[in-house]
Amino acid sequence: MSMDKQTTQAMIDEVLEVYPEKAQKDRAKHLAVNETNGEGKCITSNRKSQPGVMTARGCAYAGSKGVVWGPIKDMIHISHGPVGCGQYSRAGRRNYYTGYTGVNAFGTMNFTSDFQERDIVFGGDKKLSTIIDELETLFPLAKGYSIQSECPVGLIGDDIEAVAKTKKAEIGKTLVPVRCEGFRGVSQSLGHHIANDTLRDYVLDGTDPEAAQAEAGEYDVAIIGDYNIGGDAWSSRILLEEIGLNVVAQWSGDGTLTELENTPKVKLNLVHCYRSMNYICRHMEEKFGIPWLEYNLFGPTKCEESLRAIAAKFDEKIQAKAEEVIARYRAEWQPIIDKYKPRLQGKKVMLYVGGLRPRHVIGAYEDLGMEIVGTGYEFAHNDDYAKTTPEVKDATLLFDDATGFELEFFAEKLKPDLIGAGVKEKYIFQKMGIPFRQMHSWDYSGPYHGYDGFAIFARDMDMTLNNPCWDKLTPPWKQEKDSEAAAA
Amino acid sequence: MPNLIISQTDDGLQAYIAKKDLELAVASLEFQQADRWGGNIILADGSEFYIEPLSEAPSLPKTLRARRAG
């Protein structure tokens, strides 16, 4: 289906009708029709959600503990505050890592100070310092601690920085107080920013790049903003290593504190998730003179583009190797496309994800002959939309911080064959009879990065879309038609 | 006094307003000589800032203190 701008605009106008005047005015700025020539109106983003609507956004704590700090495996991340924030987000993001959980790796464990009424009344600093002592006894191999504040810590005004400073002097390990109280900012995006700032202040600034343990090599690179969801960073890393680069650090999927400390010596920072880790790249660019490059390893077309772009930053030896790798993998992905493309050709996809996927996965879908009819971000900024516009076709629907109502409305109007969004949307759309993939943590599958990941991606999309179970469900709009027809 | 990080991109200068977490293209910069750099800076969204002119062009990216102007 090729859409035209009028139809898409009409759909936007229709969805806006339900809102009261003030909310309507605000929401109108967040919905747009794509114009690839860049002449379309600028979509408003990174604004407070309207009260009373169902938003899919997270909080600053989610951005810091869940996204940026959480995957660093050899540190203990203390969820400082009530027990729920840590417990309900525990291990949900599937940041894979190697190591012995509870011995030298702590990724899937939940550490919390479990605030009670007493701690709110008298402050939780004492408890925090007790916990750190206890953790030191129980987990002596932990390389450091991060204190991830939950809302009450900010509200009662605890001085976690002071505790961190005292304890750091006492135990001699990296201790990072992170002021990522959930109420800060409009979405998890500020949590990423705060986490990046603490990485800068407590990890990078605390280390002397000259004294870093690793010897600097000519082809050292760091993977930034890959959280190893379902093993994504591993399937990216092997490609980079095959073209001759030396991956020094993974920020932060399957990453360690030592890796982070060694990063200031790399030659190039490779940024996967720009939204959550651009801050630290900016800092390293200014302070250490490390250039950075955004890359995209979803689907063979983008893999080839990215590998060439990365190789172009290095010498001819790397460039020749990149071509070799690209040629070698062609024999691997061509059969995958031959197998799945006929089954998926022309299917329409609607996306609503987080920081980079609404634009990055488009290439992978297009490689399979699928079409993107609508895409949107939960917590993007203006630069994300500027990068999305050229990726999607003219007249494609764009939505920022879409509400539950809008998403359901768009699904009914656009009639996508597949929806890719988060777990909050998953069961609603499945009950509507629309094939759905949870695109935040790959629906318990993955990795999707690289050539190896593409094989899994293609299989998963086929498995979901062509699953016979969808015929057994009737979407609400079809039900209505049937009953109308019966009445007539 | 917001902090602006000015960097060089393929499409010219770019400013990042740390406080607003916002990236914008630089529409115009008053002084861009080797011995005088700064002054009035206008961003793509029309907002204006003033950077105390530097006596030499900085190596970009660079974090600069800016004053709201206009």
pLDDT for A259? 92
pLDDT for A421? 96
pLDDT for B34? 82
Q: Which of A41, A275, A382, A387 to mutate to test the interface with B (most CBs of B within 10 A)?
A: A382
For residue A452, the distance in angstroms to the closest alpha carbon of chain B comes to 32
Flag if B23 and A382 touch (Cβ within 8 Å).
yes
- Predicted confidence (pLDDT) at residue A212 exceeds the cutoff of 90: no
- Is A301 in a helix, a strand, or coil? helix
Tokens of B62: 């660079």
C-alpha pair distances (Å), A93 with each of A230, A253, A275: 9, 11, 17
Residue range A330-336: average pLDDT? 96
- What angle is formed at CA A206 by the lines to CA A202 and CA A208, rounded to 5 degrees? 150
Is A228 or A41 the better-scoring residue by pLDDT? Answer: A228
| A contact residues 328-387, partner B, Cβ 8 Å cutoff | 381-383
pLDDT for A481? 62
pLDDT for B68? 85
Chain A neighbors of B14, CB-CB under 8 A: none
pLDDT for A62? 95
Q: Strand order of the sheet with strand A246-252?
A: A246-252, A220-226, A268-271, A292-294
Q: Please state, as a whole number, how many other Cβ atoms lie within 10 Å of the Cβ of residue A186.
A: 18
C-alpha pair distances (Å), A387 with each of A38, A294, A306, A312, A384: 10, 11, 15, 21, 5
pTM over 0.90: yes
Is A209 or A117 the better-scoring residue by pLDDT? Answer: A117
Residue range A335-343: average pLDDT? 96
Q: Please state, as a whole number, how many other Cβ atoms lie within 10 Å of the Cβ of residue A328.
A: 11
- Predicted confidence (pLDDT) at residue B9 exceeds the cutoff of 90: no
How does residue A347 score in pLDDT terms, banded at 50, 70 and 90?
A: very high
How does residue B8 score in pLDDT terms, banded at 50, 70 and 90?
A: confident
Contact status, residue B46 vs residue B53, Cβ threshold 8 Å: no
d(CA A161, CA A179): 9
pLDDT for A215? 77
- Predicted confidence (pLDDT) at residue A488 exceeds the cutoff of 60: no
Residues of A serving a catalytic function are 59, 62, 93, 192
ipTM of model: 0.87
Torsion over CA: A431, A433, A439, A441 (sign):
positive
Chain A neighbors of B22, CB-CB under 8 A: 46, 381-382
Q: Residue A277 gets which letter from DSSP?
A: H
Residue range A107-131: average pLDDT? 95
Residue range A27-32: average pLDDT? 95
Please state which of the ranges A12-26, A166-180, B47-61 shows the lowest mean pLDDT. Answer: B47-61
Which residue is closest to B21 within chain A, CA to CA? A381
pLDDT for A92? 87
- Predicted confidence (pLDDT) at residue A249 exceeds the cutoff of 70: yes
Tokens of A276: 């959550």
Residue range A441-458: average pLDDT? 95
Contact status, residue A363 vs residue A304, Cβ threshold 8 Å: no
Residue range A106-115: average pLDDT? 95
Mean pLDDT of chain A: 92
Flag if B21 and A190 touch (Cβ within 8 Å).
yes
- Predicted confidence (pLDDT) at residue A13 exceeds the cutoff of 90: yes
pLDDT for A209? 62
pLDDT for B21? 85
- Predicted confidence (pLDDT) at residue A484 exceeds the cutoff of 80: no
